[in-house]
Amino acid sequence: MIGAYTMHDIEVLSSIGSAAPWLTADAPYDSSDLAVFQTAYDEACRVLGLDPAARDARDGLGQVRNRVAAAVLDKVRSGERDSTVLTSFAVARGLRHWPLL
């Protein structure tokens, strides 16, 4: 489901892993996985010139940030855990959805 995930999903997963590590014992991702996902998202945003911490769409690039986050999570679901690969995939997805205005 492309576009079904947003940066909020990564944040929720990360906060669960860091705030209550016991909850991730049976979960598919541990706190080190979540840190890799967050790092890949942050780095992809930086490569694209986006502020990874921006939470509003005032800059008109909220959709691109959402696509970047979705790309990270889509690639994760395929089993990828290498931050460099996740970042590269997310950058490519972000560029495909960059507004041409």
Residue 94 pLDDT level (bands cut at 50, 70, 90): confident
pLDDT tens, residue by residue, 34-75: 899 999 999 999 999 988 888 766 777 888 888 898 899 999
Report the predicted TM-score, pTM, of the whole model to 2 decimal places.
Answer: 0.71
| 56 to 3, 24, 29, 46, 67: CA distances (angstroms) | 17, 29, 27, 17, 14
**Integer Cα distance of 69 and 36 in angstroms:** 12
